[in-house]
Structure 1
Amino acid sequence: MATLAFHDFPVPAKAALASDRPAALRLIGFASMAVPIAGAGLPLAIFVPQLYATHFGISLATIGFIFLLGRLWDVASDPIVGVLSDRTRSRFGRRRPWIAAGGVLFGLGSALLFFPPSALVGPLYLGLVLFVFYLGWTMIEIPFSAWAGEIDRDYHGRTRVVTYQLTLRSIGLLLVLVLPTLLDQVRPGDGGLKLQVVGGFIIVTLIPALFASLLAFREPPLPDTPPVRAGFWATAKVILSDGLLLRVLASDVAVTAGQSIRAGLIVFFAVNYMGLPAWASGLYLLQFIFGVLAGPIWLRIGYGLGKRQTAIVGELAQAAINIGLVFVFPGMLGLMIALTVAQGLTQGSGNLMLRAMVGDVADAHRLKTGHERTGLFYSVFSLSAKLGPALGIGLALPLVAWFGFDPKAASAPGSLEALKYTFALGPALAHIIAAALIWRFPLDEAAYREVRRALDAEHSSPTAKTA
């Protein structure tokens, strides 16, 4: 099997012609699956526990334990689905059967979770429904991400596909934030109706999105190598031995940790430090409104700088914006709004580039080993979206509490200053770490084009051998 050193490459090959790129309308159809997926996350964390506790009398401790088990199952099922989708060989492709079956389970789980029959609701019901819901979610999310990395193998083309995914994801998240806000103006405090509206949004968008995603593109030809069959420890060894994948994963963990610190503390900052309770939700919503514009902006920047450099610039820009929060004091609403808008315009810049880089890393791995593991690599990358928030919230909330901050009582000036500096500098530090982790990442545009040429040469050669 060919080997490759990531240095001293020739001038990169000419990028794919515009006529060779997937049409925008097809990409929108494919990426539309991101809308119901994104729309499910926030209500699951905010509205579901509140409703099942207040309306159905399940204790918060029991709900917390059930959600913990559900999240552990979710984490465990990601690599399982990733490996199995890589191994799948069918007339419909590798990814499509998983997404179709996952869509059915996800829709069923959403209907049962957001429209629960009162006579059946209890801890066992909630646990079983979450099991189905998370399984369907994983069966969509992992093959969907892997397929996105396979639609366009061009270095910038892959970033373009992922940009459509993340932009539609931002739109889905924005809509699911706006709907409950509007409902509060008509039926304030109606948690049951709010849950049903959000559940209806997920199901109504899921049905057309599922068909649009499945029919938008043909899957690429199945690999000409037999599917890899390895046990748990062998698979873990593959992951841990791939330094490129680990660096991308670690960087994204830092990115999502910084984002979760900001999300977890922004309401406390607005209410307790700024004294602006009316802006508590508005600032968060404002950030996501401008976040919809972030994907196309950073895609254009990526065309000029490349993924690694763009990710570094985006992360350092977010660090600078968060540091700017140090200079915000009570009453300075204008500066706070300006920084929130800037945060929205840089939102997801690192996530976007890092997600596109996973496909490049998977291709480099295939060249080195002869094995196709795109689904596995994206399943591992998805863990950062779960590990990062756990680290961010798990560190930030105990820290501000240790400094004496209590949202239920009047806090001393020192504890409010600690809240401010944690809110500002915690994300800044995380974004700086994310940039440092990929500072000298070797798989740049020139290196990837050499990988692509070597893979194409192997595929076209009748005497090509596999490892």
Structure 2
Amino acid sequence: MATLHASLFAPHDRARSTRRLTPLRLAAFSSLALPIYAAQSPVAVYLPAIYAEHYGMPLTTLGLIFLLERIWGTLADPLIGFLGDRGSARLGRRRTWIIAGALVYAVAAAMLFFPPAGFSAPLLAVSLFLFYLGWSMIQIPYLAWAGEISADYDERTRIATYGTVAGAISLLLVLILPTIIDQLRPDDAPLKLASFGLVVIGGLVVTLPLALSAVEDNSRPPAANARIPFGRAVRLIVGERLLLRVIASDFAVTTGQLIRSALIVFFVSAYMGRPEWASGLFLFQFVFGIAAGPIWMRIATRLGKHRTAILGELVQVAINLGLLLVTPARFPLLLALTLAQGLAQGSGNLMLRSMVADVADKHRLETGADRTTLFFSVFSLTGKAGMAAAVGIALPLVAWLGFAPTGPNTPAALDGLLLVFALGPALAHLISAACLYGFPLDQAEHARIRRALAA
């Protein structure tokens, strides 16, 4: 039966297996990561703090809004993945969704980053609802498209590396702006929001045509891609155990990263007493994060993806436990740990993204159906669920421990902030590594699958 299914894909897979984009084309395709990930840091790090301090929204209300938006995402992301793997559109199966999502994304970004007078919690909820919908409509088919460019195990890591580096550059850009604003106009929260909006919307206008024209969108769903009910699609995902392990690891690593991101402004300003470093420290981390992608790519060619991801996650555990030794008088230690955090931060995200495409190959061999977009929709969902978990748990938790964003804070409240800031990410990264221990789909097994598909 596997041979019969493989014959459905043979011509297409032979072409993909030898396809290697030039660095220029791959850079153009990866540039779309800039507007996608440029909003990730502002939404997770700065937006809650700005809306709490400048617009007076309670932390509990903000946590609830983000949590509800992620519950909505649990429905929207798989639905987009379910529809995205059915048939082909006139502009291409991936391009159509990306273009439509870009329109929704731009409108919602304008509402979030250029809020009108009297901006309220309900309007924030609506803006986030549309924002995450547009984000999903772009990101899910974009990730699936990236996984379809090549069928080679290491080439997929190269493609994912370009995307990770592009995302890191976008985060670097949006971190430079608030750092400059903090030095010139530190209390101008609307200016910070506007600078984020210009990067997101302006980046979308520039990179969208570059990415859509860099690579052909000629993927066609195989005949085995019968239209299945949504409930059956859910059962299909639940039955794919390797996919569940990858997305569980991704959920954990994203939660850990974004607990740190959601609290770093409060930690640096209130605990360390260095508000002028709140943006600069985050910028410092991502400067080294840009260099980390190629390093982890080289490690992966020797160790394999899942072993490299485990190594990176264990390094993250050690770094976050080291934060327990940080005091206001030990600012150089915080700088050193932040540098290490930057070098280690992309390891899990990079490997896990590439592993989803490998799991999709295994599924195609066994069933004859191409569910790449569906699988990436679930992968995208877990990342956003991790963001919701981070904001929806970390902010109410530090508030429960007595921390107030506008102060004053007792020593006990500041100690509680430190514990959540350090131990929350450490535990999450440890869980992420445990999910990948003994992962069976390594380079040798993937090569066997590719040979069977191309037989």
User: Normalising by the residue count of structure 1, what TM-score does the alignment of the two structures yield?
Assistant: 0.84
Among candidates 214, 223, 232, match of residue 212 of structure 2? 214
Q: For each residue in 1:322-362, what CA deviation from the matched residue of structure 2 results, as whole angstroms up to 9, or x when unmatched?
A: 22223333312222211110110001211110111001011
The CA deviation at 1:117 is 6.4
Q: What is aligned with 1:83?
A: 82
Among candidates 434, 450, 453, match of residue 452 of structure 1? 450
Q: What is aligned with 2:173?
A: 175
**Which residue identity is paired with 2:2?**
A
CA contact (8 A) 2:160 2:353 kept: yes
Q: What is aligned with 1:342?
A: 340
Question: Does the alignment pair 1:441 with 2:448?
Answer: no
Q: What is aligned with 2:153?
A: 155
CA contact (8 A) 1:47 1:191 kept: no
Q: What is aligned with 1:258?
A: 256
CA contact (8 A) 1:86 1:374 kept: yes
**Which residue identity is paired with 1:2?**
A
Give the 5 Å matches for 1:225-374. 225-374=223-372
Higher deviation after alignment, 23-32 or 66-75: 66-75
Q: What is aligned with 1:461?
A: none
For the structure 1 residues 410 and 139, does the alpha-carbon distance in structure 2 shift closer, same or farther, using more than 3 Å as the test? closer
CA contact (8 A) 1:252 1:434 kept: yes
Q: What is aligned with 1:6?
A: none
Unaligned runs of 5+ residues in structure 2 are: 4-15
Partner-residue secondary structure (3-state), 1:310: helix
For the structure 1 residues 151 and 176, does the alpha-carbon distance in structure 2 shift closer, same or farther, using more than 3 Å as the test? same
CA contact (8 A) 2:60 2:395 kept: no
The CA deviation at 1:79 is 1.1
User: Normalising by the residue count of structure 2, what TM-score does the alignment of the two structures yield?
Assistant: 0.86
The CA deviation at 1:244 is 0.3
Q: What is aligned with 2:10?
A: none
- 2-side partners of 1:124 and 1:369: how far apart? 45
Unaligned runs of 5+ residues in structure 1 are: 4-15, 458-467
The CA deviation at 1:221 is 3.8
**Which residue identity is paired with 1:323?**
L
Higher deviation after alignment, 444-453 or 185-194: 185-194
The CA deviation at 1:130 is 4.5
Q: What is aligned with 2:106?
A: 107
Q: What is aligned with 2:410?
A: 411
For the structure 1 residues 430 and 70, does the alpha-carbon distance in structure 2 shift closer, same or farther, using more than 3 Å as the test? closer
For the structure 1 residues 315 and 380, does the alpha-carbon distance in structure 2 shift closer, same or farther, using more than 3 Å as the test? same
For the structure 1 residues 419 and 189, does the alpha-carbon distance in structure 2 shift closer, same or farther, using more than 3 Å as the test? closer
The CA deviation at 1:428 is 1.9
The CA deviation at 1:292 is 1.4
- 2-side partners of 1:309 and 1:47: how far apart? 33
Q: What is aligned with 1:37?
A: 36
The CA deviation at 1:76 is 1.9
The CA deviation at 1:384 is 1.7
The CA deviation at 1:422 is 3.6
- 2-side partners of 1:86 and 1:441: how far apart? 26
Question: Does the alignment pair 1:22 with 2:25?
Answer: no
For the structure 1 residues 101 and 406, does the alpha-carbon distance in structure 2 shift closer, same or farther, using more than 3 Å as the test? closer
CA contact (8 A) 2:182 2:279 kept: no
**Which residue identity is paired with 2:137?**
M
- 2-side partners of 1:339 and 1:363: how far apart? 38
Question: Does the alignment pair 1:429 with 2:427?
Answer: yes
**Which residue identity is paired with 1:110?**
A
For the structure 1 residues 360 and 179, does the alpha-carbon distance in structure 2 shift closer, same or farther, using more than 3 Å as the test? same
- 1-side partners of 2:120 and 2:424: how far apart? 39
CA contact (8 A) 1:101 1:139 kept: yes
Larger Rg: 1
The CA deviation at 1:187 is 3.9
Q: What is aligned with 1:2?
A: 2
Aligned length: 442
Greater RCO between the two (CA within 8 Å, min separation 6)? 2
CA contact (8 A) 2:63 2:393 kept: no
